[in-house]
Structure 1
Amino acid sequence: MSRSDGPHRPFLPIGNPFKMMMHKASHQPSPVLITYEKNLTERFRQLKPTNTTDVISFSWMKSALSSVCETLNDIKNLIVDLELPICSWDGKWVDIYLDNSLKLLDFCSAYETDIVRQRFGYVMLKCTVLDLESGNPQKLMLASSSLHEWMQYQRRYDNSKLEDCCDIICKLKETLNLPKIKNIHKAKDLVRAMYGLKVQTMFIFSALVAAFSTTRRTLVDLQVPKEYLWCESFTELQTVMNGEINNIYVSGDVYTLKELRVLDQNVKKLYPLVHEGLGEVKQEVFDGYCCKLMESNEEFLVGLDEIKAEMDRFFKVVVDGRMALLDNFQQQPPRRGVQQVRM
């Protein structure tokens, strides 16, 4: 995308954060950067699950997306505290910045497509429960077919959008280490802060993809330099999350998302009873299975809505920031001066 395209604007009102410095020269972080990194450290700690069964759940996904939005806001506050001006950019770096921030929006769009797909699965099961509760033999046969269709729908769906999400994450990872910037301490503080944001974003995006995926995908495994104050807390979080997700795959479970596994278990209990008949299973037991399926399906919908709301919030934060930075850049700068950030 070029600068003249209008609608797509840089996602944060700052200079280019993707010119990553090499970690050779010693640089003491400023007090405001230390505060930023301490906040990021605490966010990683809060995301570390206390129960392995909750490694990926809607509650965790909601908290994870919320934490990224909080870090985005911290970045904007950091700019104000550092009083770092935006200098005239080389056009190629503007395009690179636009391309990278656009990847974040592309991820949101692709992921929300799969949220819509999961909502269709909810509708399928809701109609199935109504057929099960009717007691009509013909509708019971229809319910049997619907349960089977739901299982096939979840397992065999060729989700190209999730594949797109994986590609986006890989491309973002390639931008972590770019040539070092000028020897300006404030600029280095900003670059260091942006590195933390990118690590946080890529890791969380990777977990979000794993939540809805039914095929084993390579999880993000980032090695963070020890100089970052949040290195230890991030490494612990990444180790726990990736380890438990891999354990789920090894155990043979199809789904990593907790709520989706519960749905699948309830469907598996009901399907043989509806398909082959109750046999020795009492009617009250069968009714209990139906009730559990209905409850877990409704809880699944609530979770989907919450994730969509958080994804919409993240999308808006990115778009608003892009607009603010591009508006600032497009102003005519002084020949030898700098442009001040309009927050």
Structure 2
Amino acid sequence: MKKRHIALMLCPAPLVASCVAAATPEVAERTHTVHPGESIQRAVDSARTGDTVLVLPGTYHGSVKVTTPGITLRGTGDATVIEPVAKSTDDCGKRGNGICVAGTAKKKLKGVTVADLKVTGFSHAGVVSVGSDGLTVRHVTADKNGVWGLAEERSQRSTYQQNTARYNGDAGIFLANTIDTEQGATDTRNTLLSGNRLQGNRIGVTIRRLRDLTVTDNDITGNCAGVMVVGDENKPKGGALTVRGNRVVQNNKYCPKTERLPFLQGSGIVLTGVEKTDVTGNAVTGHSGSSPLSGGIVLFKSFVGATNDNNRIRDNSLQDNHPADVVNQESTARGNTFVHNACRASKPAGLC
């Protein structure tokens, strides 16, 4: 502070303003442009907080790992394509992921944006985030990836908006507290999934052991199941979230059983082992199947015995769902309410 004061004293009066600017320089935000044949990773590694890495149209082979806070990785839409390399040498690619946004156990990675590009053909996930805070994923197409299109764990305040996730092996969008560890649900601090198109996946959206998020205005069709909100017996329980205003139509693809779930077919919105979830204003149409999870909106006791409690199913429009528009398989659950739903058939009767 003393040196800056001395510098001002030495400046002639008309030049004081320019001397102040010289004494307190601002670091300009930069754009790092990547052309076909160049390395996206090299540009990302050279970027500083506030910078943009702009990837021009073309097909780029290899994974990208982001560890710098506050940078934007942006393409030019579906003309910017990221695909796997034959033999990956980085840890993101070795795990079969396309783009990795990576914080640490002690420090979350803040303010990263991934936008306007296509990630396809990776054996695990198109875009995966671990330990992020304030991540934005926007206008990304994630298709034909082996497990998930877009995924995250141990993250908070994320926004997934106007993305397309299609033909991925498991969920189009998969959000979890942790992927590999059983523990109580964590608070996402208002994560938002809005305006995404989810088609032809095993599950359109999976929310696993999380709280405080909103799934709204998404177009979910042609999957085996549309939306699955999943909890377990740990505390706090998954839930305290909103599924609102989504178009969930004809998720009738057949998917065989896994270690976690029976076969899936014809499931619109499924709640299993969660609490205080508000399912409201959704249009759920044209589901048909004989899976234990089939139906328009289904409340299903989890396979580890956790009940759905104090959930609100209200103001939804349901039609042509079989075995019923609303299915409540809970006999020991508490406090679930079904109000003002426009539907024809429910199991048990009386929920429409």
More helix per residue:
1
Band of TM-score, shorter chain:
under 0.3
More strand per residue:
2
Tell me the TM-score normalised to structure 1 length: 0.21
Which one scores higher on RCO, CA 8 angstroms, separation ≥ 6? 1
